[in-house]
Amino acid sequence: MRNYELTFIVRADLEEEAIDAVIDKFTGLIKNNGGEVTEVEKWGKRRLAYSIQKQNDGFYVIVNFKAEPAVSHELERVLKITDEVLRHVVIRKEE
C-alpha cells in the first residue's frame, strides 16, 4: 500500500453537518475499498485566492491515507462528480 494525501475544498456556504457528511463520504470510500485513513485535518473556512464557481470562501480538508493505486483513481473519479467539492488534489507521498 502507498501513502497518499488528499486535499479538497468544500463549498463554505454548506452547513457544518453537510461538510462533515462530505468528509465522511470520502473517508468511507477509502475504507470500503481496502484503504486506511491515518489522519483527517479540518483547516476550516478560508478565503480563496480567486473565485471558484462564484464562491469566494472554501472549507479546506486534508486526509492522509494508505491505499492501493486503484483506490486513488476511484477517489479522483468520485471527487470530480461531487458538486460540493470545489477543488481537489491527490498526491502520492514518499515512503
Q: Break the chain into its structural domains and give their ranges.
A: 2-92
94 pLDDT tier (thresholds 50, 70, 90) = confident
13-26 pLDDT, tens digit each: 999 999 999 999 99
What is the C-alpha separation between 66 and 54, in angstroms, rounded? 34
pTM equals 0.88
46-71 pLDDT, tens digit each: 999 999 989 999 999 999 999 999 99
Domain 2-92 in CATH 2.30.30.100: no
Cell numbers standing for residue 67: 491505499
